[in-house]
Chains A and B, each alone.
Chain A
Amino acid sequence: MTVLNAKNKEKAGKAFFAAAAVICVIAVAAIFAFLIIKSVPAFGKLGVFEFIFGDNWSSDRLDTYDSPLSGTYGIFTMIFGTFTATIGALLIGGVFGYFTAVFLAFYCPAVPKRIFSSVINLLAGIPSVVYGFFGIVFLLPVLSKIAPNNGSGLLATSIILGIMILPTVVSLSKTSLEAVPRAYYEASVALGANHSETVFRVMTPAAKSGIIASLVLAVGRALGETMAVVMVAGNSPNYPDGLFSSFRVLTANIVMEMGYAGEVQEGALIATGVVLLFFVLLVNLIFGFFSKKAVTASVKKQEKHKITYFNKQIKRIKNCVYSFTHKIGAVKICKGMAIGSGIFSAVALLLIIGFIFVKGLPQIIQKPSIIYGKYEFASENITILPSIVTTLFAVAISLIISIPIGLMTAIFLNEYTKNNNIFIRIIRRGIDILAGVPSIVYGLFGMIAFVPIFGGSSSILAGSLTISIMLLPTIVRSCEESLKSVLKSQREGSFALGAGKLRTIFRIVLPSAMPGILSAIILSMGRVISESAPFLYTMGSVISAIPNSVMDSGASLAVALYRLSGEGWYINEAYATALVLIIIVLALNITAEMLAGKLSKKLKGDNA
């Protein structure tokens, strides 16, 4: 009888975990279903071909589905603009990112390397509105010295996006460079190549697929970025025809016109979201292809093809040594680039954080009431207290929803799925897709799915639900990673002592993985605090009174910064808000990093 009970309990547990995983898949399906259903009338009215390849966007808010169109809706200029900006970002962020990774992996001494690596990770945590704000108050004035205009346009966008994708490129490229077997390095040096030659002619080719994968992932991020771009791109709907010409990207189109959109216009904007989603998925497929290649390559290296691959490398090294004289120039340039990029990245980070500290700190010291001051209706005194409360609400609600679902999905994927059947593959694919969806598309989804449910106007609840879906993939992935890092022998030991699967999971696996899970939770908090695009049309965008229920609307801190930086007369308050935002996010990131460090220490301890 007890045996049967235990069995049922195990079964129920598994079903529970599986259900969580299914929720993730449902979320993906819902996003696609809602966006497509809402955009079909627009595609029908405007024509798919005319919409995608038309290069005239002259919207008319009075257009309705039952009358002839007065506006013209073609998004090709924006598709073109999106891709140009992405290429620009790749030229800046990709090149500097790669060389910074090389610098960190092979040139940097151990202690600065540790600091630098975590600093680069912090760069990833800075909210995109802060990048945009930095663009407005620092980059544009500098660029306007050489520009025929105020400095906004393609170059400014590419620089800001380039800095934003830098951390992605650096950390992933660095990982794959460091994963190249040490033997390659030693063999190359033994054959007479010097350090730099080995780095650029042996290690880089060996880590090629990993580096390309990091670039592709960076492209995905650049495609989907919204707020920072809106703030510096100029946003006229035409082709970018110079470094400083005003142009518009797909994401900007949605954010810019949604507030004043009429019936057909709104459909066209949702259709813009569908096109964007399509491109991002395409990029993700390519990423999947390359990262698979990277995995198979490293497996191959370690197994039987080792010898032939190794021979090939030795041949390369020989070639390299033979043509030593005329290649020394190239390698030297590369070395210089590596060191230069390392310095550039450090300077970029210090500049952004330093600038906001220098400008924001005096504001907070002079007028600390901005943080805790009482909200006064229609007054000139800005307080961000309501925004802080709104943000806390959003963090609490979204974590309560997404942590259990995400963690249970991770447990299901890691503990229960040995075989890779179709069901599991659908779940994994679904989570991968969710991870790639741009934040503005989540915002659109929330606006058409959640806002109507809660009475048609924006509310904290609608905003929090939107962002909880957005958090799911990151939580699943990082929880799975930390579950994976728990040694198999621990589970086996538990089973051998007669513990069931559930007991093993809750008593053995979860406690060991706890630091990693906690750091995932903290990173998610940082994400809720720093995101703005998903909140604009779901939670509200105006600083109003402190919310007293989840049905009230309000602006989160990041949204408040977006608003304040736009309003010319609150620029000092904007600096203060940016500083508060950065401090919170950095503190969360550092805590997460420390916890993750604790996890690896703990596991190493178990190893010994």
Chain B
Amino acid sequence: MKKIIAFATCLLMVFSLFSCNGEKNISVVVREQGSGTREAFDKVVTDGTHFLQEKDSAGKTVYNTTNTATQLTSTGTVLSQVASDENAIGYISLGSVNDTINVVNVDGVAPSAETVLSGAYKIQRPFVVMTKKGITLTARTADFMNYLKSNASSQHSETAGCIFLEDPAKRANEGAEAIAVTTFTKQATLPSGEKIVIRGSTSMEKFINEAAKGYADAYGVKAEDIFDIQLEGSSVGRKAVEDDTHGNVIGLSSAAVKQDNIDSFNVCLDAVAVIVNKNNDKITNLTIGQLYDIFTGKITKFSEIG
């Protein structure tokens, strides 16, 4: 019996050695279902008839992403995975791009402030700030919301790598009233209230940290003394806003929000950047159609792309 096991193991090892000569398959790295980044990517990438995430005729959500994809739960994990695997392709928020990976152009367009605002770079999504509808915010929370809505947050957007929205119409949810960009005027003293609780999307971490720091600096206090920030996911943010009883909760969502019990506005636009390994210098541009074929598993080798 033990001999058989030993023999089978040997066979298996030899087999696996043989199976790997030649060029390796592309390893597709994606985010988990429900992630705002994935939603933004999946709803744009198409071969003309199908999208990576779509609804079938019965109204059921269908994911067409290949079975062999690696699913990871954070921007950082995707980044380190792609940085360490020469054959990987993945996508992350533009603000999180660093020099450990290469960014690929999509349909010949590189993601940047201009291309995102003009719509030439297609894979983009809004960063949304939420509060509970109908609740009276504490003076401090209301003041911070004014700060976020004002042009003060434009410099924080820039530092965080997302694109500030100037157009009042675009700042509102589709069909809702336009939200103008105001100028923030500092109160004489820091308005009273308990700690401002911030929950929500991990993609917005850089932006909200910058904004909180900027706000605290304006009043000469420490950010950690007036904010309680724990980012665990957009849905955690939405739930926290819905359950708000003190008027001190601000939620962050990295996907469009349309809920009757929530007030929201789009603070900036984020592009989802397609990334490959640093050593992968052959792939610099992919069309939306090629992306669809790679992420559905129709193209399995980078050499198949001309």
Contact = CB atoms under 8 A, between A and B. Distances in A.
Nearest to B69: A236
A256 B38 CA distance: 14
Nearest to B236: A259
A566 to B, nearest CB: 4
B73 A457 contact: no
A150 B27 contact: yes
Interface stretch (A26-34, A115-123, A140-148): A140-148
Nearest to A140: B84
B2 A337 contact: yes
Contact of A60 (B3, B61, B213): B61
B177 interface: no
B62 interface: yes
Given A456-B240, A566-B80, A246 B60 contact: no
Interface string A239-251: 0000101101000
A299 to B, nearest CB: 30
Interface string B219-251: 000111000111111111001100100000000
A58 interface: yes
A243 B16 contact: yes
Interface string B193-224: 00001010010001001101100100000111
A456 B224 CA distance: 20
A256 B71 contact: yes
B68 A571 contact: no
B241 to A, nearest CB: 10
B232 A152 contact: no
Contacts of A234: 69-71
Contacts of B202: 259
B156 to A, nearest CB: 10
Interface in B113-155: none
B260 to A, nearest CB: 12
A148 B68 CA distance: 11
A478 B51 CA distance: 56
A496 interface: no
Interface stretch (A44-52, A317-325, A536-544): A536-544
B182 interface: no
B197 A235 contact: no
B285 interface: no
B76 A568 contact: yes
Nearest to B13: A146
A261 B233 CA distance: 8
Contacts of A235: 32, 70-72
Given A150-B84, A337-B2, A246 B33 contact: no
B34 A567 contact: no
B102 interface: no
Contact of B33 (A58, A140, A147, A255): A58
B236 A544 contact: no
A260 B32 contact: yes
Interface stretch (A2-10, A64-72, A304-312): A64-72
A70 B62 CA distance: 9
Given A541-B230, A541-B232, A568 B224 contact: no
Contact of B228 (A70, A255, A552, A571): A552
A238 interface: yes
Contacts of B239: 456
A261 B235 contact: yes
B81 interface: yes
A61 to B, nearest CB: 4
Contacts of A245: 67-68
A375 interface: yes
Contacts, number: 179
B79 interface: yes
Interface in A246-287: 246, 248, 255-262, 265-266
A259 B62 contact: no
A570 B2 CA distance: 45
Contacts of B98: 568-569
A68 B59 contact: yes
B230 A61 contact: no
A334 interface: yes
B284 to A, nearest CB: 21
A544 B59 CA distance: 42
B85 interface: yes
Interface stretch (B17-25, B161-169, B262-270): B17-25
A215 to B, nearest CB: 15
B102 to A, nearest CB: 14
Interface in A548-582: 552-553, 566-571
Contacts of B61: 58-60, 70-72
Contacts of A423: none
Contacts of A334: 2
A439 B266 CA distance: 38
Contacts of B88: 150
A488 B70 CA distance: 59
A377 B224 contact: yes
B100 interface: yes
Given A235-B70, A262-B34, A378-B213, A553 B228 contact: yes
B261 interface: no
Contacts of B85: 144, 149-150
A375 B224 contact: yes
A375 B32 CA distance: 31
B55 interface: yes
Contacts of B74: 566-567
Nearest to B6: A333
A259 B100 contact: no
Contacts of B273: none
Contacts of B59: 68, 70
A594 interface: no
B225 to A, nearest CB: 8
A265 B34 contact: yes
B35 interface: yes
11 contacts: A146-B17, A148-B24, A245-B68, A246-B67, A246-B68, A259-B73, A259-B202, A260-B34, A260-B235, A566-B72, A568-B98
Interface of A: 57-61, 68-72, 95, 140-141, 144, 146-150, 152, 230, 234-238, 243, 245-246, 248, 255-262, 265-266, 330, 333-334, 337, 375, 377-378, 456-458, 537, 540-542, 544-545, 552-553, 566-571
Q: Which 3 residue pairs across A and B have the least CB separation, nearest first? A: A259-B233, A568-B80, A378-B209
Given A140-B84, A378-B210, 11 more contacts: A58-B61, A59-B33, A72-B61, A234-B69, A234-B70, A261-B233, A330-B3, A541-B230, A544-B229, A566-B73, A568-B80
